[in-house]
Copies of this chain bind each other. A is one copy, B any other.
């Protein structure tokens, strides 16, 4: 499944010049300082953010006021509030930079228009959505079958950079366990 990312990147690099140029015209570079929000709850996600460097986190807040982290995006990841972006409805999620972050911003509307002239972009959109769906499937499977300890272990072995760069409060929230339990899991062994 990770090879699918390579396929997507190849696809982007091999886009014809016309599509590339059109794409360039509707994007811009932007920086967010650590702590800044790329998107807030209730706003409509009218942009996608391709991370060039830094880290962002997506999270929402429960009725009880607890922050639930849904995803971390590192360099080369695309950050959007998927449902808000797709339906153009108010976002349930926040997107926040947890390090100084540089992104390439693409506006929703121009991109949709562009898709009608450059059908390759629909394919691209499809591939990226497929990738996201597979990512979600895998994440769901882990919640469905693994206990707290094994969820942490998988993360620690497969994404060690998560643990190196992200504070444990957020890791715990991302794994759906309490900070205290995470601390205990890490302590033993």
A residues contacting B by CB (< 8 A) are: 1, 4, 60, 62, 68, 70, 82-83, 86-87, 119, 122-123, 125-126, 129-130, 132-134, 136-137, 139-141, 143-145, 176
Contacts and interface: CB of A to CB of B under 8 A. Distances in A.
A163 to B, nearest CB: 19
The secondary structure that dominates the A interface is helix
Contacts of A68: 141, 144-145
15 contacts: A1-B83, A1-B87, A4-B86, A4-B87, A86-B134, A119-B119, A119-B122, A122-B123, A122-B126, A126-B126, A129-B133, A133-B133, A140-B140, A140-B143, A143-B143
Contact of A129 (B4, B130, B143): B130
Number of copies: 2
Contacts of A119: 119, 122
A86 B3 CA distance: 12
A6 B126 CA distance: 20
Nearest to A119: B119
Contacts of A82: 133-134, 137
B129 A136 contact: no
Given A68-B144, A136-B140, A140-B140, 6 more contacts: A4-B86, A70-B141, A87-B134, A132-B133, A143-B143, A143-B176
Contacts of A129: 126, 129-130, 133
A137 to B, nearest CB: 6
A130 B62 CA distance: 24
Max count, chain B CB within 10 A of own CB: residue among A122, A130, A132? A130
A116 B101 CA distance: 38
A123 B68 CA distance: 32
Contacts of A145: 62, 68, 176
